[in-house]
Amino acid sequence: MAQLDGIRVVEFSHMVMGPTVGMILADLGADVVKVEPVGGDKTRRLPGSGAGYFAMYNRNKQSITVDLKSEKGLSVVRSLIADADILVENFRDGALDKLGLGYEEVREINPSIIYQSCKGFLSGPYESRTALDEVAQMMGGLAYMTGPKGRPLRAGASVIDVTGALFGVIGILSALVARKDSGKGANIRASLYETTAFLVGQHIAQGAVTGTEAPPMPERISAWAVYDVFETLDSQMFVAVVSDGQWKSLCRAFSLMDWESDNALATNAGRVAKRKVIIPRLREIFGALDSEALGARLETIGLPYAPIRKPDDLLTDPHLNAHGLLPMELPDGKQIKLPALPLEIDGVRPQVRLNPPRVGADNDKIYSKLGFIPPSEE
């Protein structure tokens, strides 16, 4: 995958959002150098729910360690920046400015650089606040929409960090295109809070269209009569019917001829009005089948359905194992498979060129290339 072959990226980041920007660019072929403090990115050592952050978001990168409080360290990164196309950073607002590495200073070193900052907030009253994925979800309305009323619940993955990173990459790619004509770089900012607001925009629009504030998703009135999780003999299955044609297919596949001939159920609006009749009967029918048998029948008639799975279950998924899981080795030697970028370019998925790096794995090569003595030789 060489769409960004020859593009040089310097990444000052930790946690999820910034590393995700760098990983996406690296997966697409860019040469990404991750600049870590002398002891290594603290994300490497997070416990609990953060234990997978480094492994997931740092493949296809090189790593160097730099003491940014030393004159030599600053000289090293300035030399890196002078030859870079893109700088990615997600430190708190003003942190790099204090080191002389803010956008204006970096632009003096390299006028054509694209400087991408991952922040909690864009310009406005909150721009200096510290934020995290969870902060953005709580104040941006997503946690409210995810949990039952009065019980805000963060989404079960770092969706704001990752989606915010996607917007950061979109900004970078647009700036790369514009630079071909202008020769000028750009200052690109992406944020957690505004990303959350964008994602809940559908609910803001719902309120505007209906005149009624959108209720949390567990309490929502579904747009379709059949759009639920059902118990099976051995597990659970999500099943949806979102068109009149699918309704007819469901009725025929499960011998529900009385429903097929009932004009009151011929349209989605009619079915929604009869939901209290439809759902209990389907629960009884689906509950008499195991998940494999129910899935096979739904597959045959083309209905949307999904078994309820845990993340680790995906490692044995035949579809993902065909092309969507990338084998790699972690810095401690552990072998692992992780999801590839969810896109194909000319039928090809981005692959692993470099395993997630050891701390400072590329010190000797990069320091020497820049004309500095590597830390190992000091």
Does residue 216 register a pLDDT over 60?
A: yes
Return d(Cα 179, Cα 94) in angstroms, integer: 26
Model pTM score: 0.94
Q: How does pLDDT run across 230-264, given as a tens digit for each residue?
A: 999 999 999 999 999 999 999 999 999 999 999 99
Our separate counts of H helices and E strands in the chain read 17, 11
What is the chain's Cα-based Rg?
A: 25
Question: Does residue 204 belong to any structural domain of this protein?
Answer: no
**What is the pLDDT, as a whole number, of residue 166?**
98
Question: Does residue 319 belong to any structural domain of this protein?
Answer: no
Q: Running DSSP on this structure, what letter comes out for residue 48? A: G
Q: How does pLDDT run across 129-188, given as a tens digit for each residue?
A: 999 999 999 999 999 999 999 999 999 999 999 999 999 999 999 999 999 999 999 999
Question: Does residue 287 belong to any structural domain of this protein?
Answer: yes
Can you give the CATH number for the domain in which 256 is found? Answer: 3.30.1540.10
**What is the domain range of residue 178?**
8-199+324-377
Pair 88, 138 in one domain: yes
Question: Does residue 252 belong to any structural domain of this protein?
Answer: yes
Pair 40, 104 in one domain: yes
Pair 64, 171 in one domain: yes
Pair 34, 176 in one domain: yes
Distances (CA, A) of 45 to 50, 165, 369, 375: 9, 22, 29, 22
Does residue 1 register a pLDDT over 80?
A: no
Pair 304, 340 in one domain: no
Does residue 229 register a pLDDT over 90?
A: yes
User: What's the pLDDT band for 33 if we cut at 50, 70, 90?
Assistant: very high
Q: What total number of domains does the chain contain? A: 2
Q: How does pLDDT run across 318-336, given as a tens digit for each residue?
A: 999 999 999 999 999 999 9
Contact status, residue 53 vs residue 43, Cβ threshold 8 Å: yes
User: What's the pLDDT band for 378 if we cut at 50, 70, 90?
Assistant: confident
Within 8 A by CB and 6+ apart from 53, the residues are 15, 16, 19, 43, 46
Pair 78, 143 in one domain: yes
